[in-house]
Structure 1
Amino acid sequence: MKILIHTFQNAERQHNITIDGVGISYLYVIERDAGRLIDCRARMKFSPLGACALAGTGLPIDRFMTSDALGFTAPMRNSIDAVSDRDFLLEFLSANAITAVHLSRLGEEWVLWASEEFGFITPSDSVSTGSSIMPQKKNPDPMELVRGKSGRVIGGLVTLLTACKGLPHAYNRDLQEDEEPVFDSVRAILGMLEVSAEFAMNITFNRERIQKSLPAGFPGATTLADYLVKKVKVGLRWSHVKDVFGGLKMNGYCRMISRHIEF
């Protein structure tokens, strides 16, 4: 979508770029999130069946046969390791937590853009709620909930990390705490992805409002600094002197080249 829009750095207006650039940045982020989940599957393909309490069994079982029958790549190589650690779940929860943080960032972006102060997007009624007290308001509640759910996913990772951190080798009952954060994390991430996708398909970009906001904050300052370096041959440090841009911002006059410049 070829619409110029502000970017922000340190909560200050930065360069104007196309909305495509912002959207693609999140696309690559989510692509990496998917890659992390695919990667952690490689360490979930080993069966612990037959490890028993920690030392295996004296019965004539075939662990390779059972792991193959259950869809695993192979049995785990060490029976103590099989019952002692939950690092494969920690990796999974970590991947989910990173995904949740990224979705939360996206949610924050859209909540800001939907606000009266920005006004860059308008969510449809299907993904908005009215205010409990002010009849004119339309709130982007779904993305606020996505933002809030991220804490729950991060908390699940911290819960299991804390449960595992002080355990000696072999099985300990503390590991009963592994199931709830894992299942809860999966439910939360699936819901966050579904809500984010639904919200994205039901927003309208307010081109006129975006267009009016573009000149504010002197977004052409970097272009001017580059011009002074390349054409006037001043040093990069001098091209960033505040006095130069202070006067230019006020009246459009650049003392370095003794003329007015419009951006």
Structure 2
Amino acid sequence: MTSAELEGKTAIVTGGARGIGAAHCRALVGAGASVVVADVLREEGEALAADLGERATFAFLDVTDREQWAQCVDVALRLGRGSLDILVNNAGINQPTPLVDMSPETWDRVLAVNLTGHFNGIQAAVPAMRRAGGGSIVNTASITAVIPPSQLAPYVASKMAIVGLTQVAALELGAYGIRVNALQPGYTDTPMMAGGDEAAITAAMPIHRYGQPEEVADMMLYLVTRATYTTGSVLAVDGGAVAGVGYAVAD
């Protein structure tokens, strides 16, 4: 459904070329916003932007590169005629490895993309949001911050840290009319979950299936449109997976 709820607003979505990021881009354009699809996946990102039409454009962005962040914000300001109102920090990677076998390079790379990438995005976007009188930042945590699985040490560490980063940013940026919240997706039907046994993974959950990217995007859209008294919060979109751990223990 298309609405004009975000008419005149401009957003950047990192990791926007596919999966949950692509769903975020579609939801924002559907609500009337102009969107920068920011990703290192050029072919997929350009194709999505073309499909979304004149209110979307692609920007190549490695979220660990601060110069590329500055360029991405410039793209957004041109697209939005000087306005940047929404940042969705979604980009993330995962390289499952047992902790004792993990190379320092793997540890550093996952944290650089998943955590420092969020930090870089906040620093890059906030000056434009302050000039505009406010904005909304949505970070991406994970169910793994609550239910940490094995072999994902840097991923879990990054997602736990994003919760703290979100809360501190909310405290510091509220005075400028900038709200900062985080999504906590659960098991979502994306390439990252490819090859998993959906029935086994979701057996203890109240909702026995993977989530869809669009369901995560619906919560993002709520945060940037209607949740005007919400900041520093972490909103779960997990089919009750955290509650499911309690059910499994009780059983």
TM-score category by the smaller chain? under 0.3
Larger Rg: 1
- Structure with more helix by fraction: 1
